[in-house]
Amino acid sequence: MKDRPEKVSKALNYLLVGSDTREGLTKAQIKQLKVGSTAVAAGGRSDTMLLLHISKSRDRAYLISLPRDSLVTIPEHLSSRDNKTMVGAASGKLNWAFAYGGAPLLIRTIEGATNLKIDHYIEISFAGFAGMVDALGGVEVCTKVDIDDPKSHLVLPAGVHTLDGIEALKYVRTRDFDGRGDIGRMQRQQQFLSSLLRKATSSGVLLNPIKMVNFINASLASVKMDSQLESNDILTLGKQLRGLSSGNVRTLTVPLSNANGNVAGVGSVVVWSPTLATELWDRLREDKSILDVVTPSPSASETAAPEVIDKFKSRTAAENPCGAIK
């Protein structure tokens, strides 16, 4: 790809995409999910997009949600209709890039919007995600409110629940029960991924050979990777994340200036903050911490601890609004 951002550190940036392709789902699972068949969703669309940044020293990781409806400039590309006609660069929604040109165009679009070089691409299907959750024996989630989503068909009373693969898939896709749309959905996805990460790296899995092998096999069988990424690299990635303390893995959503924007010819969009989002990408590009530590002034109490400023509203993997989750 031409005109890619310069790589200025040895930090790694993974683009993780959840595709809504139905491939691999059984008829029973499609019926349980109440979604269309493979023919209905031919080609697949990007259902979830996450940027995983791992520091060059491998001691910090940031998992950043990218709203599907983010307003971006989609670079010029060949038309998906005839693969011959060149379509000029234009404003559009981020998930349009995936629909128009798959992973290559999506990567170009994100690199153009962030000035971050994407090192590796991993795509997980519906079936793959469900298989990973089932291989762990389910994942716990906590909801403070009742959920009754007419589109994802998820019904959960408030409280703590252990979800199997299909129920987990409903949970991370639900977006139409609280009026918060993709923003609320992304926060639930972040909480779920934190719970999944804790479960996958818990002693109950690591010390259980059967569970560990099942999870590794499900993970490797469920993903599409770029040509430079191999199965051993996925295992290495898992080991690197496992070695991080929960306080050094943070989840956040790209800072927004307008979650309910509207652009003629594009429709409803999510607009990134021109200041905070740019600062976030600059810090990641330089592999700097997203947290600011402010030392107390000389007049402050000698026992006063340094204040940590998190302007990007990130959350550690151990934090959960409902308290501790196993």
Backbone dihedral angles phi then psi of residue 286, each to the nearest 5 degrees: -90, 0
- Return the residue matching tokens 């590796």: 120
Predicted pLDDT at 321: 52
Q: Is the pTM of this model over 0.95?
A: no
Predicted pLDDT at 192: 82
Question: Domains in the chain and their CATH numbers?
Answer: 12-316 (3.40.630.190)
Q: Which of 289, 294, 298 is nearest to 307 (CA)?
A: 294
Strands (E) located in the chain: 12-19, 46-54, 61-65, 71-74, 77-78, 86-87, 90-93, 120-124, 139-143, 147-149, 154-156, 159-163, 223-225, 249-253, 256-263, 267-272, 292-294, 307-309, 315-316
Predicted pLDDT at 39: 47
Lookup: tokens for 17: 């995409």
Predicted pLDDT at 326: 40
Predicted pLDDT at 176: 73
Lookup: tokens for 92: 């559009």
- Return the residue matching tokens 């950043």: 64
Residue type, 132: M
Can you list the residues of the chain whose pLDDT is less than 70?
1-2, 20-27, 29-47, 201-203, 206-207, 209, 212, 219-222, 231-232, 234-235, 238-247, 297-304, 317-326
Asked if 23 contacts 128 with a C-beta cutoff of 8 angstroms, the reply is no
Measured CA to CA in angstroms, residue 99 lies from 96, 128, 271 at distances of: 5, 20, 20
Predicted pLDDT at 104: 92
| Whole-number Å distance between alpha carbons of 248 and 234 | 20
Lookup: tokens for 163: 């979800």
Lookup: tokens for 217: 């096999």
Q: CA dihedral in degrees (22, 24, 26, 30; nearest 10)?
A: -20
Helix axes 231-242, 181-200, angle to 10 degrees: 90
Predicted pLDDT at 303: 63
Helix, strand or coil, per DSSP, at residue 91: strand
